[in-house]
């Protein structure tokens, strides 16, 4: 109601975004406390009654539900980074190894898309470079509360060990794929980007043939000279839209790049893309001779590898967030 508040509409909208973020943090805790108080009253009410198995089972179920809610809310207290609440750009690159590596990259893309579906996040594939065995690279935007906070620990090299379906002799193969995570930064973050700092190329986006074939150079690729970062977008409807998204991706990556450069003395806090090779992997996915997924930072392991590939990666996300806080 302050006079002149709405004169700066952009500033007012930013303030409302900040206010809604605070409400989203506070309100769930308030509701949980109210539910716990009600549960205490319910337990006290039935404490003097004769044992009733149905009522006991109902109370036990509600207590387990409250415990689950508490665990989820407690996890969000670990998401206190500057951009943990933001959306996330997730980029996947296949390592060397031909069809085997491309298939592994495609498996990881599916895993993250399934995770987004399970977690209630919105996912949008912004760029997809297909290969004979799968994909060479892909970039997806994950949108939802704390998307970057949850997915930032996925950055690094992921190692696959399995009997390759592309090997006629059924030998065991090891493949590597790198994942890069960066927050979607808003316009309030200043990134000094001059025309001479980058090269912008347009090309014809891939797609179906026939009447649906793309006849214009609508896809956009931007190469940043100093950092060597390359981003591209081809899935929007026009070159202008692809260009806008590509610049957002570039600014997001550059923010992480300059942050890491500035804080080189704190490398343990940086989310960096390591060399796609032996010894740099953050997680191993073993299909043969046994089945197990193990995170090498936290030593968290899961035997249900199919569940993990179906997007059930919450144990790794939770353990990483706890580990990262302890490392600070």
Give the domain ranges of the chain.
8-76, 88-187+266-327, 195-262
List residues bridging with 178 in a β-sheet: 93, 157
pTM for this structure? 0.73
88-187+266-327 and 195-262 share one fold = no
Q: What is the pLDDT along the chain (328 residues), one digit of tens a residue?
A: 888 888 888 888 888 877 887 888 889 899 999 999 999 988 888 777 777 777 888 888 999 999 988 988 888 888 888 889 889 999 999 987 788 899 999 999 999 999 999 999 999 999 898 888 899 999 999 999 899 999 999 999 999 999 888 777 778 889 999 999 989 887 666 677 888 999 999 887 765 444 444 446 788 999 999 889 999 898 777 888 888 888 888 988 888 787 777 655 444 444 444 555 545 789 999 998 899 999 999 999 999 999 999 999 999 999 999 998 887 6
Domain at 195-262, CATH class: alpha beta
What stretches of the chain adopt beta strand conformation (E)?
Answer: 88-94, 122-130, 135-143, 156-163, 172-183, 198-203, 219-224, 230-233, 281-286, 292-295, 301-302
pLDDT at position 47 is 77
pLDDT at position 58 is 85
Question: Which of these CATH numbers, 3.30.70.1660, 3.40.50.10490, 3.90.226.10, 3.40.50.720, describes 88-187+266-327?
Answer: 3.30.70.1660
Scored b (16 or more CB within 10 A) or e, 4-35 reads: eeeeeeeeeeeeeeeeeeeeeeeeeeeeeeee
pLDDT at position 239 is 86
Measured distance CA(274)–CA(153) in Å, rounded: 13
pLDDT at position 264 is 59
């Amino acid at each position: 109601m302050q006079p002149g508040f709405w004169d700066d509409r952009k500033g007012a909208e930013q303030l409302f975004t900040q206010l809604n973020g605070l409400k989203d943090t506070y309100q769930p805790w308030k509701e949980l406390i109210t539910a716990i108080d009600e549960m205490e009253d319910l337990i006290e009410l039935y404490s003097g009654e004769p044992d009733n198995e149905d009522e006991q089972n109902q109370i036990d179920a509600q207590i387990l539900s409250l415990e689950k809610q508490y665990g989820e809310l407690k996890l969000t207290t670990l998401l206190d980074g500057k951009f943990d609440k933001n959306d996330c750009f997730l980029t996947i690159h296949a390592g060397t190894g031909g069809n085997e590596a491309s298939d592994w990259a495609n498996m990881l893309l599916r895993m993250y898309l399934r995770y987004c579906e399970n977690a209630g996040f919105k996912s949008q594939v912004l760029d997809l470079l297909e290969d004979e065995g799968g994909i060479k690279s892909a970039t997806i935007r994950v949108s939802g509360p704390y998307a970057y906070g949850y997915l930032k620990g996925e950055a690094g090299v992921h190692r696959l060990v399995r009997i390759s379906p592309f090997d006629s002799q059924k030998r065991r193969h090891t493949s590597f794929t790198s994942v890069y995570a960066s927050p979607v930064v808003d316009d309030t973050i200043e990134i000094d980007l001059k025309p001479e700092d980058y090269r912008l190329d347009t090309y014809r986006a891939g797609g179906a043939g026939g009447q649906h074939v793309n006849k214009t150079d609508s896809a956009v690729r931007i190469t940043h000279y100093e950092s060597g970062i390359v981003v591209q977008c081809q899935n929007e409807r026009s070159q202008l839209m692809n260009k806008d998204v590509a610049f957002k991706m570039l600014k997001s990556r550059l923010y992480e790049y300059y942050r890491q450069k500035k804080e080189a003395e704190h490398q343990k806090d940086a989310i960096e893309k390591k060399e796609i090779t032996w010894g740099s992997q953050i997680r191993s996915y073993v299909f043969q001779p046994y089945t197990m997924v193990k995170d090498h930072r936290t030593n968290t392991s899961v035997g249900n590898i199919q569940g993990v590939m179906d997007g059930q990666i919450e144990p790794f996300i939770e353990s990483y967030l706890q580990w990262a806080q302890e490392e600070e």
